[in-house]
Amino acid sequence: MAIPRIWRQIEEKYNLVGTLCKDCKKKHFPPREVCSCGCYDLEKYRFLGKGEIVTYTVIRISSEDNEDTPFRNIPYVLAIVRLDEGPSLTAQIVQCSESELMIGKKVEMVFRKLLEKGEKGVIQYGYKFRIA
């Protein structure tokens, strides 16, 4: 992936920065250009990184291309997390045993390596979650 593509997502992927609609007060993650209410007047909003598991799975087969993580590191846990402030996101759950996983479980954000392209490629960092 080209470096500028990674660079321009730093705020979002490192710090959970989304947007807040000045009109209807709706919070969005990821950041949006326009709110569902039609308003274009949005400001940056940083989410606290706490939420709960809406649903999850354990990924056991992935791409045959085993150069890249996360695909190299199967099995891994993937979940939809609803942030306390409202929006939901897709992320891996780390540092947990399968028996701890449950719909409704409280989780918190951690900063981790997301993608690694082979030995020489650029490493991309971002959010994952762990049991709170």
Which residues make up the interface to other proteins (CB under 8 A)?
9, 30, 54-65, 68, 70-71, 76, 78-81, 87-92, 103, 114-115, 124, 126, 128
* 83 lies in the binding site for Zn ion (CB under 5 A): no
Kindly state the smallest distance separating residue 48's Cβ from Zn ion, in Å: 21
Name the binder of 60 from Zn ion, other proteins, none, CB < 5-8 A by kind.
Answer: other proteins
d(CA 119, CA 56): 30
CA contacts within 13 A on the Cβ side of 67? 8
- Total length of the chain: 132
Name the binder of 9 from Zn ion, other proteins, none, CB < 5-8 A by kind.
Answer: other proteins
d(CA 10, CA 45): 14
C-alpha dist (Å) from residue 91 to 80, 119, 128: 6, 24, 6
Residues between 2 and 41 that touch Zn ion (CB under 5 A)? 21, 23-24, 26, 35, 37, 39
